[in-house]
Amino acid sequence: MSAPQTSFVAVPYDSHFPIQNLPLGVFERQDQPGARLGVAIGDSVLDLAVLERQGVLEPLAAGGKSVFDRASLNALMALGRPAWQQTRGRIQELLAAENPRLRDDAALRREALLPIADVVLRLPVEIGDYTDFYSSREHATNVGAMFRGPDKALMPNWLHLPVAYHGRASSVVVSGTDLHRPLGQTRPDDAAPPVFGPSRAVDFELEMGALVGVGNELGHPIAIEHTAEHVFGMVLVNDWSARDIQKWEYVPLGPFLSKSFGTSISPWVVTLEALEPFRVSGPVQDPPVLDYLRSPGPWALDIQLAVSIQPVGTSEATIVTRTNARHLYWNVCQQMAHHTINGCNLRTGDLLATGTISGPGPRERGSLLELTLGGREPVELAGGQTRRYLQDGDRVTISGWCQGSSYRIGFGQVTGSLLPCRT
């Protein structure tokens, strides 16, 4: 067995960003104007625009037009998997411990390798459309049992197709963006008219998201065996939710204002190439799915996930949930195949979120709605505080990683605080 690849850049043993990962993102430097593409390596970010300008990284687009000196990943994503693989392979070569090209060029290293702490990370993708699936059987069962009873927890269609709704792309924000408690209609008393005011049941939702690289033409579905060629990479997602607004508005069409006030994603996009070693078999699907949804091999992903809550004014965050993305009943290939089977056209930058990810255990539930049984049983936080739903000032942080034999493939984190409502 060959030794694992290493980089000349120092990478802590528990880093999310070893040379085996190389997630892509968008950042701004302090010394140069404009956003550009970067790759995370250890505690540093590699400036791809600098490498291209210095002739170390070849231009990919027709006519030599840069895809690296851009404010989003979209131009690179639209080029397709061969270009993604070419870029990833060249960056791995440049960062390898045995390659002197960047390692021994002190001036180029100073210009191209920057501490992540010294840059500002931006939303990595221009998101045109956002679809939120409902792919965790445990989550759907937990929520359905609360509202309809355990005998009717799953709706009749749930085991036959990936249920989803179309969300609001304009309010997708990058990690670190704080959101205000939303206003809206609720009906706390079923015997009285609805009331207007701030939500009293703001929640997090632990999710993953797939970003579409190359889309499809209108009227041309993506066959399930080809779906992986259209997925550029994955991010962490917190789809913030106002449960009391949702309860009143979702019948008959589904979530609206209860979800559209904000969805947070992590700044680093982990490619499918980096995740390839962590593909595993997902849950057994019974009854068998229709032919167009039969997965092309194992496409569950062994991604460990954790959610913490840190109250304002405190220094300690409490992990309230630990689970794994491998529990998802519907995988990313099935989601995309179903999304396009009617001819719907996906486009570069579209976000397909998994929906809340919950596992079988009581501490593996991906939302406060489930953890507290609809607000009836509060969770305990450090310092003696408890939560039924989020309070103003609470910071929610989601982290995720795949554990290899001697390295991690991580997503970093997606974090944000809940601010008081605007009056």
Mapped onto helix, strand or coil, the DSSP state of residue 40 is strand
Exposure string for 321-356, b = 16+ CB within 10 A, e = fewer: bebbbbbbbbbbbbbbbbbbbeebbbebbbbbbbbb
The contacts of residue 396 (CB under 8 Å, 6+ apart) are 204, 238, 307, 308, 309, 390, 415, 416, 417, 418
Token pair of 272, please? 């499918």
Residues 66 and 57: their CA atoms lie apart, in Å, by 10
Q: Considering the candidates 16, 139, 338, 339, report the single residue annotated as catalytic.
A: 139
Mapped onto helix, strand or coil, the DSSP state of residue 244 is helix
Token pair of 131, please? 């679809």
Cβ-contact 389, 201 below 8 angstroms: yes
Token pair of 126, please? 């221009």
Token pair of 418, please? 């809940």
Residues 350 and 83: their CA atoms lie apart, in Å, by 19
The contacts of residue 237 (CB under 8 Å, 6+ apart) are 205, 207, 208, 209, 263, 264, 265, 266, 351, 353, 354, 398, 414
Q: What is the DSSP secondary-structure string of 155-219?
A: -TTTTTS--EEE--GGGEEETT--EEPPEEEE-S-TTS--EEEE-S-EE--EEEEEEESS---TT
Token pair of 48, please? 């791809």
Q: Is 220 a catalytic residue?
A: no
Cβ-contact 85, 24 below 8 angstroms: no
Token pair of 282, please? 């997902």
Q: Residue 310 pairs with which residues in a beta bridge? A: 395
Residues 193 and 187: their CA atoms lie apart, in Å, by 7
> Residues with catalytic annotation?
139
